[in-house]
Amino acid sequence: MHSGIGPLEHLAEMSISCKVNLQGVGSNLQDHTIVYTAYQVNDPSLTLDPLIYYDPDALAASVQEWRETKTGPMGDCPFGPFALKRIDKTIQDPVWEAAKSEKQTDQSSECDPTGQWSNQPHIELWTSEMYFSAQNATQSVI
């Protein structure tokens, strides 16, 4: 909303000049938690790593291939299968059960205790076909 696009009332409240009065901007934001895990394979051809990391010139060659032909590892999404999972059928926690019971007596919402609709997943799982991490994720944090 710093750009001036959003609900006029909120922008005025924040002393931001309204360029476009657009309701809904900044609403319904949700956390998107990501957990990084690593795996190792015995056959290096199962990942894209040899095309990026093993040879010191591999990354430059992959970038050059993309620039010239828009193909190769830089021209594709390096992510494998995705899975979406709800936890409400598997979780066995008294806190969850109490929150569900409390939510059922509150008919103002059809969402579960996490705020998800019954057709929304709680967890998103995906794989990467090459080494991928958050910045500094491999460094020790003390």
Parse the chain into domains and list their residue ranges: 78-132
d(Cα 27, Cα 7) in Å, to the nearest integer? 10
Q: State pTM to two decimals.
A: 0.43
Angstrom CA distances, 80 to 20, 74, 84, 127, 130, stand at 39, 15, 13, 5, 10
Pairing of strands 79-85, 123-128: antiparallel
pLDDT bin (cut points 50, 70, 90) of residue 94 is: confident
d(Cα 14, Cα 19) in Å, to the nearest integer? 14
In the predicted structure, residue 142 carries a pLDDT above the cut 60: no
* pLDDT score, position 108: 53
